[in-house]
Amino acid sequence: MRLPSRVRLVITVVVISYTALLGIAYADPPVGFTETWSGTSTQNWGGGSSVTNPGSGGGGAGGAGDGYLLVATPGVGHLGARSNGAPYVGDWRSAGIEFVRFSINDVGTDEPLEIHFAIGNGSNFWQSNVAISPPENAWGEVTIDLTAADNFTQILGTGTFDAALHNVDRIHFRHDLAPFAQTPDSIQGDFGIDNLLLGGPMTPTFSTSWGRIKAQYR
């Protein structure tokens, strides 16, 4: 029996509303997506720190005139930025995203930064174990492997790392010292992020000079 169009419309609205309450994502993040922060937009990145884009006066990874994401604390506090923007929300496993690659810079004064990448959702959130100490006033390139849970520590909620990547609603960069927990360590400092790439097995790897890819790890 064919339902009247008005009844079909009501059923569709109910289904959409129900799945929205469950937090089901309809689109997976696109492999190869790259955030470059052109212009002066922060592209919906924010957090407790000051999050800005210096724009043409910034000197991002692309050189003079290139914008980037600048994360700073004017005083001692939690240093970090997060995004729940559409390009990052969804099922990373089904999308085939196996790593994230980005450029990072300890802008301004040299500080003892230990920056970590974190991913997941509000009930299952994980932080990379690798502490990144960005080069001072220079851009270094870093790759975070997402294929093994051993690379990460759970800092919020319960569930497996694989389950977290099947239901991502945010990603995060923050300064933190081991041992890792939900509340990070405080510091006064700043760092820049540029050219954030979501990579998969078919994503090309580019060879660059040592000066461009230099990144220091603790």
Q: Report residue 76 as tokens.
A: 């001692």
Structure tokens at 187: 């510091």
In a domain, 136, yes or no: yes
Q: Is 78 inside a domain boundary?
A: yes
- Answer whether residue 11 is part of any domain: no
Give domain status of residue 118, yes or no.
yes
The CATH number that applies at residue 209 is: 2.60.120.260
| Total count of domains within the chain | 1
What predicted TM-score, i.e. pTM, was given to this entire model? 0.81
In 3D, which of 132, 128, 131 has the Cα closest to residue 147?
Answer: 128
Q: What is the pLDDT of residues 103-149, one digit of tens each?
A: 999 998 999 999 999 999 999 999 999 999 999 999 999 999 999 99
CA distance 184 to 122: 16
Q: Is residue 34 part of a domain?
A: yes
Give dist(CA 4, CA 131) in Å, integer: 59
Does the pLDDT value for residue 210 go beyond 60?
no
Which two structure tokens, joined as six digits, stand for 132? 């990144």
pLDDT recorded at residue 90: 97
List pLDDT tens digits, range 20-34.
333 444 468 999 999
Within a domain: 1: no
| Domain that includes residue 55, residue range | 27-217
Confirm whether 113 is domain-assigned.
yes
pLDDT at 218 over 80: no
pLDDT band at 2, cuts 50/70/90? low
